[in-house]
């Protein structure tokens, strides 16, 4: 009988321990899942909070000045993207073009060389075509045509660049104007309140600084694109000048 009670007691303890272990495991799993869901919820809240914070700061800066600064950014980026696409399409493999034109001059004469230039895109090919088109006369006429048309192509490369410079200068100026207006409004509130209140001063200064920050951010973004565009233009212009010299050398040899 005692042995039976002992066996029943052992079975009860084992069953109770297994149940506790299962309960603890389930509790731990529930805790882990809850913690993971809480982390995910915090991340989503943080991501949502960034956009809400950006929207809040934009509204606090004043829709008038902030809207104009945003318009400067949109127009500036549109012009930058258009210029970058145009300049990339205007880039030509000048070494290959020069080699093809030279081979065409030797094999088929001026008409074959002009046909090569017609089938090639870019300002370098256009300059080559103008020079070859006037190569029937003297070399001086061809050289003048190359120089004149090179200036035309350079003007096309630099088209609308001045607008980017305008937006770069205008965005921080608008921000500074918003800063001045915000400070004036802060002092007007202090004068109306009849005393010095830190809340009124802090609110006005915050609005003033927000316009300046957004203006500087716009100017920095556009300045990066502007420097890239200017460097790209300089590279194409250098290729144009080197290729023009090479073309005149080829025409001189062809005349002989």
Read off the pLDDT of residues 30-49 as tens digits, 9 standing for 90 and up: 443 344 444 444 444 445 57
At 168 the pLDDT is 94
Looking at residue 1, its pLDDT comes to 43
Q: What is the mean pLDDT of the chain?
A: 76
Q: What is the pLDDT of residue 166?
A: 93
The answer to whether residue 63 scores a pLDDT higher than 60 is: yes
Which residue segment(s) compose the domain that 9 sits in? 1-54
- Model confidence at 103, in pLDDT bands (50, 70, 90)? confident
For residue 199, is it within any domain? yes
Distance CA 59, CA 210 (A): 10
Please check whether residues 219 and 136 belong to one and the same domain: yes
Q: Give the pLDDT score at 34.
A: 47
Q: Kindly report the pTM of this predicted structure.
A: 0.71
* 116 in the same domain as 33: no
**Are 19 and 84 in the same domain?**
no
């Amino acid at each position: 009988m005692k042995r039976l009670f002992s066996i029943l007691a052992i079975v009860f303890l084992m069953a109770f321990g297994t149940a506790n272990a299962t309960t603890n495991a389930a509790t731990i799993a529930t805790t882990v899942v809850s913690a993971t869901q809480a982390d995910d919820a915090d991340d989503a809240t943080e991501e949502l909070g960034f956009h809400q914070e950006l929207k809040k700061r934009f509204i606090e800066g004043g829709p008038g000045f902030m809207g104009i600064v945003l318009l400067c950014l949109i127009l500036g980026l549109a012009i930058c993207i258009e210029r970058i696409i145009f300049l990339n399409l205007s880039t030509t493999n000048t070494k290959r073009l020069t080699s093809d034109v030279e081979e065409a001059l030797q094999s088929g004469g001026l008409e074959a060389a002009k046909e090569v230039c017609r089938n090639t895109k870019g300002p370098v090919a256009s300059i080559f075509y103008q020079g070859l088109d006037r190569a029937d006369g003297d070399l001086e006429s061809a050289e003048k045509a190359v120089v004149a048309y090179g200036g035309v192509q350079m003007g096309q490369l630099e088209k609308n660049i001045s607008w980017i410079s305008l937006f770069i200068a205008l965005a921080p100026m608008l921000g500074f104007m918003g800063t001045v207006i915000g400070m004036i409004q802060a002092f007007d509130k202090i004068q109306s309140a009849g005393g010095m209140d830190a809340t009124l001063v802090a609110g006005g200064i915050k609005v003033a600084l927000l316009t300046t920050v957004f203006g500087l951010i716009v100017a920095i973004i556009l300045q990066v694109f502007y420097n890239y565009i200017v460097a790209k233009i300089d590279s194409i212009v250098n290729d144009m000048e080197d290729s023009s010299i090479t073309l005149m050398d080829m025409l001189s040899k062809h005349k002989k």
